[in-house]
Amino acid sequence: MEVGLTDDTSPASQALDDTLELARRRERTHRPDRASRIGAVAMGVPFLIAAGTLAAFSPHITARQWVLAGVLGVLYLAAGQVEFEAAVGVTVPSEQVLVAMFLVLPPTMPPVIALAALIWVKPSWMLRPYRGYSFLLRAASAWQTMGPALVLYHFGDGSARLSQWPLYVGALLAQFALDILMAAIRTRSLGMPLRSVVRPLGWTWCIDGVLATVGLSAVVATNGSFAMIPFLVAPVGLIWLLASDRRQQVERSLSLGKAVMEARDEARLDPLTGVANRRAWEEAMAAAQTEVDASWGTRIAAIAVADVDRLKRVNDTLGHSVGDALIAATASSLLRDAPEGATIARLGGDEFGVLWVTTREEYEAFDFVATLTGAMTGSDALEHVPVLASIGFATTPPAATVEAALEVADAELFAHKQRRMVT
């Protein structure tokens, strides 16, 4: 059954060459692009210097303040996990906790507490490649605390009074000013227009302004005692209830339209393999571009394109039924090993595509390149014919668009087939 399926290249030496090439490609693909690294350094390093300098000038911190710092830090961390999505942005009800920290603690402490909370959200990042880059990104996300810290450190007197409302307004405006500055740096490093973040920033400022008033009122009304905690927790509970109700409404809407969606999905499936067809692939590409554009550089699109090796030879020597079964087996391998949530599609004939929108950290942790390559290395066999495929990879960034990433992956696929001299 193997007659006509061999070539002059040793399988062992060819596998070694492919492994070395994949290692080189993996290093290129996983490395954060230069613009991202510059943006992380430009935002993260100055924050660490500023926070460290402020901490060095901290006054004596009492035991009560340490306890308050721990309680408010945990509450800030918890509030950051509650999200309410709207058309223009995401509400995270943590501003009132941040305001309370600035009013009851030395203003040098909240930046450090905020950074600790951001690190604690996902500590597994410390075990992954480029953890220095990831750490700087988290430090950059804490910049919003530095404006109020500097204003209150230089002009505050350590007490919380409504009569000082101009000072508090100035501190909030300093926070917003740094938001604009960090947005400008990040969008420039990613090659995005600043106008793309204007609406999300406006939404965030409106919510933060309302929640800042709640935080100030809670501290003043309770004279900064532990009795303020329920008032700070209340907005978190409210947002959580609204988000939960929104999810239930969405689920009900999806349930009502389930029959329509099933019919639509069936029209977008390849009948031979059961994976998505070309039409569904093009829709997934458009949706991926929209998601990447709206993520403010926090998500990437990873693309793999695979082409079944020696299909024509299989059809000529073993028959088209075996060729069709080989195509189906290739689809099964991709379905089995592709990351959860990825789109697997038959693009035509013996060509398949895998599209996955994710974060860079999840992409690196899953090891997208090595896992999908392993799925195509002949671990399965059909009629003594191994499941083998040439494969190309790309991501955006560094590709400018999802469509450009597909072109890069196609070029890699073609080069891979040329090197292996397979058809």
Closest Cα to residue 356, out of 374, 368, 371?
A: 368
CATH of the domain at 373: 3.30.70.270
- The answer to whether position 220 is within a domain reads yes
Once rounded to an integer, what is the mean pLDDT over residues 210-224? 93
**Pick the residue with more confidence: 223 or 384?**
223
Once rounded to an integer, what is the mean pLDDT over residues 383-397? 74
Would you state the pLDDT for residue 316?
55
Same domain, 188 and 250: yes
Confidence of residue 80 (pLDDT cuts 50, 70, 90): confident
Provide the domain limits for residue 92. 34-254
Once rounded to an integer, what is the mean pLDDT over residues 362-388? 70
Same domain, 148 and 105: yes
Same domain, 364 and 396: yes
Widest CA span in the chain: 91
Q: Is 289 exposed, middle or buried (0-12, 13-18, 19+ CB in 10 A)?
A: middle
- The answer to whether position 1 is within a domain reads no
Same domain, 218 and 276: no
Same domain, 282 and 241: no
Taking only the tens place, the pLDDT of each residue in 176-208 is 988 888 878 777 766 677 777 788 888 888 889
Same domain, 20 and 38: no
Same domain, 287 and 214: no
- The answer to whether position 280 is within a domain reads yes
CB atoms within 10 A of CB 246: 13
- The answer to whether position 3 is within a domain reads no
Same domain, 136 and 171: yes
Taking only the tens place, the pLDDT of each residue in 83-112 is 877 666 677 889 999 999 999 999 999 999
Confidence of residue 166 (pLDDT cuts 50, 70, 90): very high
Would you state the pLDDT for residue 382?
54
Same domain, 203 and 325: no
Would you state the pLDDT for residue 73?
92
Pair of tokens at residue 29: 């693909």
Same domain, 155 and 104: yes
Taking only the tens place, the pLDDT of each residue in 233-279 is 999 999 889 888 888 887 777 676 665 555 555 667 777 777 888 88
- The answer to whether position 264 is within a domain reads no
pLDDT higher than 70, residue 23: no
CA distance 58 to 66: 13
- The answer to whether position 56 is within a domain reads yes
- The answer to whether position 53 is within a domain reads yes
Residue pair 330/302 in contact (Cβ under 8 Å)? The answer is: no
Same domain, 235 and 279: no
The pTM assigned to this predicted structure is 0.54
CATH of the domain at 113: 1.10.1760.20
- Domain end, chosen from 208, 229, 254, is at 254
- The answer to whether position 148 is within a domain reads yes
Taking only the tens place, the pLDDT of each residue in 323-370 is 677 778 878 888 888 888 888 888 877 888 899 888 888 887 778 888
Would you state the pLDDT for residue 28?
47
Residue pair 363/395 in contact (Cβ under 8 Å)? The answer is: yes
Same domain, 96 and 221: yes
Domain count, the chain: 2
pLDDT higher than 80, residue 156: yes
pLDDT higher than 70, residue 285: yes
Residues 6+ apart with CB under 8 A from 154: none
- Domain end, chosen from 226, 254, 282, is at 254
Once rounded to an integer, what is the mean pLDDT over residues 200-229? 91
- Domain end, chosen from 197, 221, 254, is at 254
pLDDT higher than 50, residue 15: no
pLDDT higher than 70, residue 314: no
